[in-house]
Amino acid sequence: MKNYELILVLSPQLSETQVKETLEKSKKIISSNQGEILTEDLLGRKRFYHDIKKNRDGYYAYIKFKAPSSSIKEINFNLKVQENVLRVSIINAVMETVNK
């Protein structure tokens, strides 16, 4: 299993509870596709440089997880089809080791 980093951009019209519900649903999608959540962080509401789907800002969330590379396509698709998700970005996380 490889480590991945996920950035989700959620709709600005969501309430705080809806944001948390969408994050929980996203984590369940990862878990149901053999993924394991390592860390998560809600980064808050931020303004976009360019409009995304006619929105000027949105909620950003960061999730670091482990998953088999064969399941990333399925995870990406299932995250994108959620109605409250504006953007999804999954990248391969490079684990750095520091030798002292």
- Name the burial class of residue 87, with classes exposed (0-12), middle (13-18) and buried (19+) by CB atoms within 10 angstroms of its CB: middle
State residue 95's pLDDT score.
63
Residue 4 φ/ψ, nearest 5 degrees: -135, 155
Domains and CATH numbers, the chain: 2-92 (3.30.70.60)
Beta strands across the sheet bearing 36-52: 36-52, 55-67, 2-10, 85-92
Residues (pLDDT < 70) of the chain are 95-100
State residue 36's pLDDT score.
93
State residue 57's pLDDT score.
94
State residue 52's pLDDT score.
85
Residue keyed to tokens 């809806």: 18
- Cα gap 33→78, rounded to integer Å: 10
Q: What is the pLDDT of residues 27-50, one digit of tens each?
A: 999 999 999 999 999 999 999 898
